[in-house]
A and B are shown apart, each in its own frame.
Chain A
Amino acid sequence: MYTQALNTAETGDHGLEDAGKAAQFQARIDAEERIEPNDWMPAAYRKTLTRQISQHAHSEIVGMLPEGNWITRAPTLRRKAALLAKVQDECGHGLYLYAAAETLGTSREELVDAMLAGKAKYSSIFNYPTLTWADIGTIGWLVDGAAIMNQIPLCRCSYGPYARAMIRVCKEESFHQRQGYEIMLTLCRGSDEQKAMAQDALNRWWWPVLMMFGPPDATSQHSDTSTRWKIKRFSNDELRQKFVDATVPQAQYLGLTIPDPGMTQDADGHWRYSEIDWTEFKQVLAGNGPCNRDRMAARRKAHDEGAWVREAAAAYAAKRAQRQTAQAAE
């Protein structure tokens, strides 16, 4: 899921590259051809995509943490099995995306190291805590719902491996959103306390979810290049509006109130939301969200504690290869 705020293109130094090749490349993009790993591409296109796809992958992996928090405390076995499957899917999505990013020429190890070193970002949404079981419902319903809005256009991204990875991700993401909404529906049909818990979760997640679509169009500087390269098909504000319009009726069905008293519906049916607090967004991106340090610490711990497994697997493979060479020589 989760490409928010990652779609900022590099401004390329076109002067150094073959102008003819660059023109040919743009013509292929304009003709809706897919760019494949061994094709010629501008260095800035490669750099932009490496960053966007790898940060998308990091987001999937870090995204396992807030939900993983509730696996052992899921209210029923059915919910536990579903949550476990969902978290496993997020891991799978991370792996599809890392593989797509690697086709651009950066190794998996370098990509992961950049994240662990704090040099590569992941979606700001995962720096918020999951305080109650209703947060798991809200994440599925809203966070995955926002992700689907973002990701469906990426299935038509100009870079073939990214587009193909997104098709697989989108197919699986639908289960995530439905299981989240079902959790919310169950809570909203339950006791007053359960419904209050659902409302509280919506109150805490609503604004951070709207921020997932990235800064408003008026302030994002690099969108033009990404749009020209057909990495990005819709603007941040367009996607955000689509999401709000789709979500309001779902909240109404649940009997929940969106925590935006200023929200109104236009004559043309669009729901207009109030000003988003972008200082909060900037703070979270800068590392000052409620859980930034926890998330990084958890990823580093997992990486460090897994080191012996990687070493053992490499040693075993080396031993087997050596034995095969010896046998072949006999």
Chain B
Amino acid sequence: MTTPNTPLWEVFIRSRNGLAHKHVGSLHASDATMALQAARDIYTRRGEGLSIWVVPSTAITASDPADKGMMFEPAETKIYRHPTFYEVPEEVGHM
């Protein structure tokens, strides 16, 4: 019997209270329960996390690197979105 290729999962770990889950890597597992267990063994052998998310890699939609110019250009040209764009006299103090 030939088995199908084991699905790929992306692993996210929250390291401490108050921090967000962060992508740490990926692994193969046939279902979500096994993916969680494998993530525990592979990515948290030294107390790296307090919470794990596993997500099927196929469920992720990624932006195309080729479009990054068009995609992120607006953020670069709108300097008025930054606090340093505005002038506040020194006498006013820290704001």
CA distance A284 to B9 in the complex (A): 37
- B30:A102 contact, CB within 8 angstroms: no
- B34:A95 contact, CB within 8 angstroms: no
For B46, list chain A residues within 8 Å (CB). 172
A316 and B30 in contact, given A89-B45, A310-B6, A311-B3 (Cβ under 8 angstroms): yes
> Which residues of B, 25-82, contact A by the 8 Å Cβ criterion?
25-31, 34, 41-42, 45-46, 62, 64-66
- A40:B66 contact, CB within 8 angstroms: yes
Q: Tell yes or no: B1 within 8 A of A by CB.
A: yes
Residues of B within 8 A of A (CB): 1, 3-6, 8, 25-31, 34, 41-42, 45-46, 62, 64-66
CA distance A172 to B5 in the complex (A): 29
For A320, list chain B residues within 8 Å (CB). 31
- B65:A39 contact, CB within 8 angstroms: yes
CA distance A95 to B65 in the complex (A): 26
For A164, list chain B residues within 8 Å (CB). 25
Q: Could you say which of A39, A107, A172, A316 contacts B31, with CB atoms under 8 Å apart? A: A316
For A38, list chain B residues within 8 Å (CB). 62, 64-65
CA distance A163 to B64 in the complex (A): 21
Contact with B along A77-119 (1 / 0, CB 8 A): 0000000010011001001100100100001110000000000
A40 to chain B, nearest CB (A): 7
Q: Tell yes or no: A314 within 8 A of B by CB.
A: yes
Closest to B62 in A: A38
A106 to chain B, nearest CB (A): 11
CA distance A39 to B63 in the complex (A): 11
12 sample A-B contacts, Cβ–Cβ < 8 Å, listed by A number: A89-B45, A95-B42, A96-B42, A99-B26, A107-B5, A108-B28, A164-B25, A165-B25, A168-B25, A313-B6, A314-B4, A317-B31
Closest to B34 in A: A313
